[in-house]
Amino acid sequence: MSASPANRLDWDLDREIVITRVFDAPRALVFKLFTQAEHICQWWGPKGFTCNTHSMNVQVGGQWRFDLVAPNGHVYPNRIEYVEIAPNERLVFDHGSDQDDDPGKFRVTITFDEQSDKKTVVMMRQLHPTKAQRDATIGFGAVELGYQTLDKLAELLRANR
């Protein structure tokens, strides 16, 4: 059995950022919180940021348009375009600013792996267009901010047990 070599060749490690977190919740619940407009802005975004959804259509070809609002009030318009959806297992989307042809747009693959103890491992893999863009993203603190976002999701899951 052979893996898809084209996909492996397209995924360059020097353009990648990987963030992983284990959640004490079943996979279906974690996936739901990633894909339903009434839930996602309760936790999406780094500590101190708020999220405002303009529209969310979670289907292949659909978009989630939202603003992240920094603690100082600065608004960051965002757009996610869904490429692949395997319910409770995998989400693939392109993430960038809310503008057409954003040169900084990057691909995100999120996997949801339920463990035998009903905990869920979430792995978020970002693939940036260039190594320089990946390095700049790391430089402004995106890894720490990503972990802060997943911390907010963990807090929401704990609060709703």
Asked if residue 4 is part of any domain, the answer here is: no
CATH number of the domain to which 130 belongs: 3.30.530.20
Residues of the chain with pLDDT under 50: 1-6, 8
Please report the pLDDT score of residue 44 as a whole number: 98
Asked if residue 10 is part of any domain, the answer here is: no
The four Cα atoms 38, 39, 42, 43 give a dihedral, to 10 degrees, of -150
Please report the pLDDT score of residue 97 as a whole number: 96
Please report the pLDDT score of residue 11 as a whole number: 58
Q: Is 140 helix (H, G, I), strand (E, B) or coil?
A: coil
Please report the pLDDT score of residue 1 as a whole number: 39
Please report the pLDDT score of residue 161 as a whole number: 78
**What is d(CA 88, CA 82) in angstroms, rounded to the nearest whole number?**
15
Asked if residue 9 is part of any domain, the answer here is: no
Asked if residue 50 is part of any domain, the answer here is: yes
Asked if residue 1 is part of any domain, the answer here is: no
Output phi, psi for 37, to 5 deg: -60, -35
For the whole model, what pTM was predicted? 0.90
Please report the pLDDT score of residue 41 as a whole number: 97
- Domain of 127 in residue numbering reads as 15-159
Total domain count, the chain: 1
